């Protein structure tokens, strides 16, 4: 697992990225993973990523899911959260 952050001066946003070297997301799951009740686990509720997306949306953040590709092959999954830092308020 790899965790990284990146500041984009042009968009004025911070991106937090978590990636792994697993099998990635199945194509049918990747398209719908942020929707409620989508799960790959037999006992899962499918609410985890949907809740993350809802909270991110409410705070002006964005969640992105992709498969990491190397030489045309899936080499893991990547989940990113990007957001604009809060402005400092002078008291």
Report pLDDT for 89: 40
**CATH number of the CATH domain containing 79:** 3.30.565.10
Determine, yes or no, domain membership for 91. Answer: no
Residue 69 lies in a domain: yes
pLDDT in tens, 3-33: 999 999 998 899 999 999 999 999 999 999 9
Is residue 89 assigned to a domain? no
pLDDT for residue 85 = 82
Instruction: Give phi and psi for 58, each to the nearest 5.
Output: -65, -20
Residue 6: phi, psi to the nearest 5? -150, 135
Q: Residue 40: inside a domain, yes or no?
A: yes
What whole-number distance in Å separates Cα of residue 62 and Cα of residue 45? Answer: 22
Confirm whether 33 is domain-assigned. yes
Q: Does some domain include residue 6?
A: yes
Tally of structural domains, the chain: 1
Residue 70 domain-assigned?
A: yes
The string of pLDDT tens digits covering residues 28-82 is 999 999 999 999 899 999 999 999 999 999 999 999 999 999 999 999 999 999 9
Residue range(s) defining the domain that contains residue 76: 2-83
């Amino acid at each position: 697992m790899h965790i990284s952050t990146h500041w984009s001066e042009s968009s004025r946003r911070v991106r937090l990225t978590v990636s792994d070297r697993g099998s990635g997301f199945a194509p049918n799951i990747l398209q719908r993973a942020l929707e409620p009740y989508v799960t790959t686990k037999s006992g899962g509720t499918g609410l985890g990523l949907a809740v993350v997306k809802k909270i991110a949306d409410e705070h002006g953040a964005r969640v992105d899911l992709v498969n990491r590709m190397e030489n045309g092959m899936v080499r893991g999954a990547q989940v990113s959260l990007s957001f604009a830092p809060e402005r400092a308020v002078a008291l």
